[in-house]
Amino acid sequence: MRRRLACQALVLLLLPVAAAGAAAGAMLRQGDAFPTWELPDQRGALVTSTGLAGQRYLLWFYPRAMTPGCTAEGQALRDRYAEFQAAGVAIYGVSFDAPADNARFAAAESFPFALLSDERRALAVQVGAADAVAQPTARRISYLVGADGTVLEAYESVAPAAHAGEVLSDLGPPAATPAP
C-alpha cells in the first residue's frame, strides 16, 4: 500500500512536467484543431483565423526575412502561386520579423501573398515553430489548414526550394473543370 501511494505521488509530480514539455514547441498533428490566431501582415492589416474560416490555407513559418533559405522557400511558393490558387489554398508566411521587415522582403521578392508578424511568438509556441517566446527565430515548419480549421498536413521538416511542390503534391491533382 505504501509503495503504491509513493508511485502514485511520483506520477502526480511528473504529470505537470510531461504536460508542459509536450505543449511547448510541440507540433500539431493531422486532424488536430488549429488554434485561433490574429497577426498583422506586412501592411499592418490584421489577418485572423476566424476571417479565414471556410478557406484552406498554408502557414509557412520561416526563420528570418531576406535570408537565403527563407528567400528560396518564398520564391518557390511565389513561382507556384497560381497552382495554389487553382487548388483553393491561400498562402501566408509567418516570422518573428516586424511588419516593416516583412514588407521589404515581400516587395524585394514580389510575393503575391501576405507575410505575417508573430513578434510575440505566441502562435509559434502554440504550434511548435518555437519552444519558447525567447527563441530568436521561428523553426522552418508549415501547416496546411483545412476549411474547417483542422490540420490537413503538418510539415516538420521542410526543404525550402522543394516545399511548394511537396504541398501541391499532397493536395493532389487540380479538379477538372467541366466542359461547357
Q: How many other CB atoms are there within 10 angstroms of residue 36's CB atom?
A: 12
Q: Which residues are catalytic?
A: 70
Query: What is the torsion angle, in degrees rounded to the nearest 10, for the CA atoms of residue 81, residue 60, residue 151 and residue 127?
Result: -170
pLDDT for the residue numbered 152: 97
pLDDT for the residue numbered 102: 98
> What value does the mean pLDDT take over residues 157-163?
94
Residue partners of 111: CB distance under 8 A and separation at least 6? 74, 77, 78, 93, 105
Cell numbers 527565430: residue: 137
Q: Is the dihedral of CA 135, 106, 41, 47 positive or negative?
A: negative
Domains and CATH numbers, the chain: 27-171 (3.40.30.10)
**pLDDT tens digit sequence for 113-124:** 999 999 999 999
**pLDDT tens digit sequence for 22-65:** 355 689 999 999 999 999 999 999 999 999 999 999 999 999 99
Read off the pLDDT band of 9 (50, 70, 90): very low
